[in-house]
Every structure is written in C-alpha cells, then in structure tokens.
Structure 1
Amino acid sequence: MYHHFQFDSCDKQRHFGREIPRRAAQYPVIKNAIFAVSSRHLSLLAGSEDSESPHYVSECLRILITALEDPLSHFDENLLAAVILLRTHEELSDNDERCHLFGTTRLLNSIASFAADGGLRESASWVSLRQHIYICLTSQHPLTINLTNYRHSNVFQNSDDESWANRIIFIFAIILTQVIRPEGEQQLSIDTWHELDADVKAWNLCKPWHFAPLFMESPGIPVSSSPRRSVWPEVFVCDPAQVVGLQHYYLAKIVLAIYDPRLSRLSFDALRLRRASEATVRENLRLAIGLAVSNDHVTTAMLQASHILSACGMYLTDPREQEAALDFLTRLKTQMGWQTAHILRDLQEQWRM
C-alpha cells in the first residue's frame, strides 16, 4: 500500500504519486523501496508480523551501498527518492534508528543547486526537509540539513498554494535552527527572536486571501443533541497544501512562544509573560490539531499532528482535551498504522506530574 499523499501534499506536480510508480518499473531501488513501505504498512494495519519488508529493505540497501561509492551518486534523484521511502519505512518501525535520515542528509548537502532544478529532485528535497523537521521537533536534535540550498528554490517566486506552504515550512526550519542548537552554542537572542517572529507574521499577512480557512468554529461543550462534537476547533480549508502550510504556521507560533528569550529573565513581568506564552502555545496547539481532525483526508497533517502532540502535548491541561488527544493518537495507529504507542505513554506520564 503506497500512499503518495503524505509526500505530495506540497508538490503541485505530484511527483511521488505520478513519477515514482512509473520509475519503479525501471529502477529496482525504487521498486524495492515501495515494496518495503507497503509491506510494513499492510502488516501494521492487519496487526500481523512483518515478514516481507526486511527482504525489500535488504535489496534496497545492496543497491544503495554500491551506488553511493560513486562520487557522482549524489546527483541521482532516484537514490534520493529511495532513501526517503526507506526513511518512511523507519518511521513506521517500533524502534526508529534514523539510519536513512543520515543518508538523505549526505545526499542533500552535497547538491549545490538541487532546489532550483525542479522535478523529482526538488520535490524529494522538500519531503526530506519535512522528515528532518519531524526528528528535530520530537527529539530536540539540531537540524542537519544545509538550508542555504533551499533559498534558490522556485517556491520563493511562485504564488501557488504549494509554494506558499513550502515557504512557511522553510521559515519554520530556520526557526528550529535558531532555537535548537548544539550544546555549548549561544542561545537565541531577543533581536533574532523578533526577526523570526516578524517573518512568521509577514507570511501570514502576505499569503493569498484564499489560503485562509473557509470556516472556523471554536469547540463547544458537547450537548445531548450533538454528543460527538469535537473538543478541537473546526478548521476547514480547500487544499492539502493549505492544511500543511497553516499547520506549520501554528507550529511556528508555538515554538516561538516556548523559546521566547524574555521568559528566562528575572523580572516582575516574567510571570505574566510566562502565562501569556503558555496560553499562546495552547491556542495554536488546539488549532494545529483541529486543522488535522477537520481535514483528516490530508495524511501529512494527521501525522504532523502526532509530532506536535509528541513535542508539545504536555501543555494541554483540560482533561477533555487530554482524552481527545489520546483518542486521536489511538485512531491514528488503528486506521493508518502510525506508531503512536510511545507518544501515548509519554503524554500520560507528563500529565500525571
């Protein structure tokens, strides 16, 4: 079961849905990578032992190890696409060792102009950036991708929804490089924080009018006539790229609120600032999850919501929201095969503190 939706949500040309299956017939490395992801996914949905995917992973690695000995291999977009698929296979594992994350980092950082090339190479590079963001966000490990290359991408000139989504994803990646730094490096300054905050606000002000949600409604207390009403805000939009873009916008506001340098200062104003920061985090956390729940056909947003809960779910203090978050993560595992047991366990421990 090969779901291209989680890869193509911010790609107008839908390379992973259209081009990758065609290439599978010609390139064994892509064919085996697809089979590996599909086998793992099907076994998770069926609740059965995954006996098939290790074979396909081994075949992939055999080809990749040989190919990567070639100094020109980093120009091969087929290898990059295969490594991204293998990274997805890792994400579906109980024990994510992130081996293939390092493979994509090596490939991406060795390409000087991939982001301006268009085609599958550029599409794959943006998918890989989202994968690296997920690791950085949930593990607090610094981003290992050289973001300079991305500045040459056409997304900064184009005006389609996918380009606008990738712009805020890039801004969020820049934020992560500033707030999650290697140990010993200087922490985020107030001036830099204000610059990042201004970038996020500028994206929101300049985005096209149709990028705004079609409909937004705050949650209400369920009543007898509507007992199933969600505790999350209802946020409906037209296009998957808009869902992913807005979700990263809310996530950027969350991270900036958490890492506001003013919170570490000792002052009479510190308590007020801290309470305001936590309120901002909770408000945008609810919106990010509500966006995913309201548009649950967008696979990328559903998975991203689980990453957000993994990183920031401890800020939820309302018992109804906590229960709804657990239900959401459980449904994600049952319906999509996504591994959420560790997130469920961590959140329950954090809420008991």
Structure 2
Amino acid sequence: MEEAHSVADLLSRFAQSMEAKCSVSSPSLGQATMMHEPTEPFEQGDLPEAASWANLRLEAYLAVVNQAPFPSYLNSLCADKRGAPVDDKDWANLMLLHLTDIIRYCFSDDKDTEHYAALLKDTTIWSETKPDSFDPIYTCNHPEKQVLPDIWLYSEPVAAGLQYYHLSRMLLMSHDPRLPKIGLARNRTMKQIEVEMKNDTKIVCAIAAGMGEASPTYLTACMAIALVGDLFDKRAEQDTLLCVLTNATDRFGWPTSYIKDSLKKTWGWL
C-alpha cells in the first residue's frame, strides 16, 4: 500500500505540473501532499526508490524554473539518500543532491558566506573526484558553423550528472554573496559571470543534443535555458535554445510555452 501511495503521489504531482497553463507550475503546486515514506527500506532499483528520485528531479526542475524555494518536505529524504557513490548512477544522484542543496540556498533568505563556501566545496570535490567514465568520449567546437559544441558521453547517468554540475555552477555564480555590490568591479564581474553562465548553458544543451532527441536530458536543458536564456542576444543562439525547448515538448509533452513566451518578450520578438 505504501508503494502505491508513493507512486500515486508522484504521478499526481507530475500531472499537476504538466497541466499548468500559464507557467510550469501554479502557486498551489508547492503545497502538494508529500510522498508517503515507506515503512521499511527498499532495495535500490525498486519502484518506490525510483519514484522518490523522480520526484526529487521534478521538484528541482520546478524550483529552478520558477526560482522558488525547494519544498521542505524533501529535506529528510535528501539526507537519507546521501552515501558513498558506487557507480555512475550513484555519482549522478549525488550531484543531484548537491544541486538541491544549492537550490535551497539560492532561493531562500539564507545568504551566509560560510554556507555558500561549503556548497562550492561540495561541487568542486564532486567535479575533481568523479570517475573517469564522466570524461567525454568526444568533444568538438564549431563556433563558425553551429552554436552548440559536440559532446558525446558514455551513458544517461553520466550526462545527467554533468548537467546537474553545470546547473549548480550557474546557480552558485549568480548567487555568490561575495560579489561586489556596486561600482566598476561589480560590472566587470557580472559580465564575466554572464559569459560563463552562457557557456554552461551551451554545455548543458550540447549534452542533451549529444544523447539524442529522445533523451530526458532535454528536460534538464530546459532548466538552464529558463535560468539564463535571456542573456543570449544572437539570433542563431536564440533559435537553438528554442529548438531545445521545442524538442522537450514534442518528444515528452513537456510544458515549455511559458519559457518560450518569456524569452521571446525579453528578446524583443513579441
């Protein structure tokens, strides 16, 4: 019964987000009923375990796209799932947990410098200690021919983990409490940050493109576009981002019209 409740809650949550009309989620979505905790532990790969990870990814998506606080009911769940990674899937999930920590920090009133430094350290350690399997099989830049670089990766977990890493970088850069507050120093720093965030966005989208049009990594790419898509001012770049969003809708029925409309207004298309 607990398993059925967990899956039912996730499906209900997913349906609510998919049915939203004007945005990726409505204000009431953040108040959704929490998933029931299982009465006994389940083996890795059982449906409730998979459902809880899927729910975590969905909540991360909604929080980032809406720039809203991460639901507090998931705090204990995230804490329970921390452990030494064994395989690529574990490493990807660990980076997802780091991302949820960063989301909590960025979209809350907590802007403690020490907390920020700890989050930055976790992200750096993950990047420096991840397995060699996370190294791209092939990379190539075509600045004169196409907007996105070619990035080929070993598997879906590897692709997801790297996308979470680059999303984390983007959030940390844009919410750094150590940034200069005013003056020329701030202007120079913000310009450099914008360049880096645009590059991270291209990498996240390129990872999705490299995994193929049917890859769920396109949904994660939507998160990056929602965050900083407004920074892209070249038509070729804008068209490429819209193609990524369109593929997420065409292949998965994922709601991206709100993101598209917002970007088009910002870009002066509407």
Structure with the greater alpha carbon radius of gyration: 1
Residue of structure 1 equivalent to 2:228: 312
> How far 1:322 moved relative to its partner?
0.7
Q: Distance in 2 between matches of 1:233 and 1:194?
A: 31
Q: 1:120 aligns with which of 28, 36, 47?
A: 47
Residue of structure 2 equivalent to 1:166: 93
Residue of structure 1 equivalent to 2:188: 272
Q: Distance in 2 between matches of 1:310 and 1:175?
A: 17
Q: Distance in 2 between matches of 1:127 and 1:116?
A: 15
1:1-353, aligned counterparts within 5 Å?
76-95=2-21, 96-97=25-26, 102-104=31-33, 106-107=34-35, 111=37, 118=44, 119-144=46-71, 145-153=73-81, 156-181=83-108, 185=109, 187-222=110-145, 230-263=146-179, 265-297=181-213, 299-352=215-268
> How far 1:157 moved relative to its partner?
2.2
> How far 1:100 moved relative to its partner?
6.6
Contact 2:13 2:32 in 1 (8 A): no
> Percent identity, aligned pairs only?
22
Contact 2:9 2:35 in 1 (8 A): no
> Could you give the per-residue CA deviations for residues 30-73 of structure 1, whole angstroms, max 9, x where no partner exists?
xxxxxxxxxxxxxxxxxxxxxxxxxxxxxxxxxxxxxxxxxxx7
CA RMSD in angstroms, aligned pairs only? 2.5
Q: Distance in 2 between matches of 1:343 and 1:205?
A: 33
Q: Secondary structure at the match of 1:293?
A: helix
> Could you give the per-residue CA deviations for residues 80-135 of structure 1, whole angstroms, max 9, x where no partner exists?
1122123222333252447676445x225xx3887776433222211111111111
For residues 293 and 206 of structure 1, do their structure 2 counterparts lie closer, same or farther at Cα, with a shift above 3 Å needed? same
> How far 1:309 moved relative to its partner?
1.2
Q: Distance in 2 between matches of 1:94 and 1:321?
A: 27
Contact 2:221 2:244 in 1 (8 A): no
Q: Distance in 2 between matches of 1:244 and 1:250?
A: 10
Moved more, 307-316 or 91-100: 91-100
Contact 2:147 2:236 in 1 (8 A): yes
Q: Distance in 2 between matches of 1:273 and 1:115?
A: 47
TM-score (ref. length: structure 1): 0.68
For residues 265 and 81 of structure 1, do their structure 2 counterparts lie closer, same or farther at Cα, with a shift above 3 Å needed? same
Q: Distance in 2 between matches of 1:168 and 1:113?
A: 27
> How far 1:140 moved relative to its partner?
1.7
For residues 297 and 319 of structure 1, do their structure 2 counterparts lie closer, same or farther at Cα, with a shift above 3 Å needed? closer
Q: Secondary structure at the match of 2:267?
A: helix
Residue of structure 2 equivalent to 1:53: none
> Could you give the per-residue CA deviations for residues 231-287 of structure 1, whole angstroms, max 9, x where no partner exists?
211111111111111100010001111111133523552222112211111110110
> How far 1:214 moved relative to its partner?
1.0
Number of residue equivalences: 264
Q: Distance in 1 between matches of 2:202 and 2:182?
A: 29
For residues 113 and 167 of structure 1, do their structure 2 counterparts lie closer, same or farther at Cα, with a shift above 3 Å needed? farther
Contact 1:219 1:233 in 2 (8 A): yes
Q: Distance in 2 between matches of 1:190 and 1:250?
A: 21
TM-score (ref. length: structure 2): 0.87
Q: Distance in 2 between matches of 1:148 and 1:114?
A: 15
> How far 1:205 moved relative to its partner?
0.6
Q: Distance in 2 between matches of 1:178 and 1:284?
A: 20
For residues 296 and 174 of structure 1, do their structure 2 counterparts lie closer, same or farther at Cα, with a shift above 3 Å needed? same
Q: Secondary structure at the match of 1:216?
A: strand
Q: Secondary structure at the match of 2:229?
A: helix
